[in-house]
Copies of this chain bind each other. A is one copy, B any other.
Amino acid sequence: MEPAVKLRRASYADWPVLSPLWRAVVAAGDTYFYAPDTPESVAAAFWMPGDPAETWLAEDLNMGVLGTYLLKPNQIGLGDHVANAGFMVDPVVRGRGIGRQLGEHCLARAAELGYRAIQFNAVVANNAIALALWRSLGFVIVGTVPKAFRHHQLGEIDIHIMHRFL
């Protein structure tokens, strides 16, 4: 059985080891809005915006950083009791359960921080693996925005808004 990855809170100094993973996921153009040509400093600011946001890493002793998540308020002010989160897993280690491990950790952490719910604003409609994972963790689709994502291969496709109370 493969060893589980260890999760730890990332600091800004971790960006250089995180960046290749972020780039690999974004380059595919099939899950995130981030433009593939996002400058490095902008990418770092997106994924590590700092307090009250938190960025976490999943590390393997031998393979290094294999996954990451970003947890932050979905809105400012009168909406900041609802969290938003984004997840990335290194494409070469998909299927090892790292996404689920990150998801479960994020749910616990969000509750710990006092958030009342988590909202995903853009689960790309053809992303069956993500949809299945989030459903299994208790998220439901609360909305679908037509043609809101310009998928690298499929063109304009729908995105789902998913939600779960904590």
Interfacial residues, chain A to chain B (CB-CB below 8 A)? 29, 32-35, 38, 74-82, 116-117, 119, 121-122, 142-151, 156, 159, 161, 163, 165
Q: What chain B residues lie within 8 Å of A116 (beta carbons)?
A: 147, 156
Smallest CB separation, A129 vs chain B (Å): 19
B146 in contact with A143 (CB, 8 Å): no
CB distance from A151 to the nearest CB of B (A): 8
Bound CA span A161–B74, Å: 14
Q: Which residues of B have CB within 8 Å of A81?
A: 150, 156
30 CB contacts below 8 A, A to B, read A32-B77, A33-B75, A33-B76, A33-B77, A33-B78, A33-B80, A35-B76, A35-B78, A38-B77, A74-B148, A78-B149, A78-B150, A78-B151, A79-B159, A81-B150, A82-B145, A116-B147, A116-B156, A117-B147, A119-B145, A142-B143, A142-B145, A142-B146, A143-B144, A143-B145, A145-B163, A146-B163, A146-B165, A147-B165, A161-B161
Which single residue of chain B is at the shortest CB-CB distance from A159? B79
A35, A77, A81, A146 pick with most chain B CB within 10 angstroms: A77
Report chain B residues within 8 Å CB of A159: 79
- Chain B residue with Cβ nearest A73: B33
Query: In the complex where A122-B75, A143-B142 touch, is A148 in contact with B33 (Cβ < 8 A)?
Result: no
Residues on B with beta carbons closer than 8 Å to the beta carbon of A77: 32-35, 38
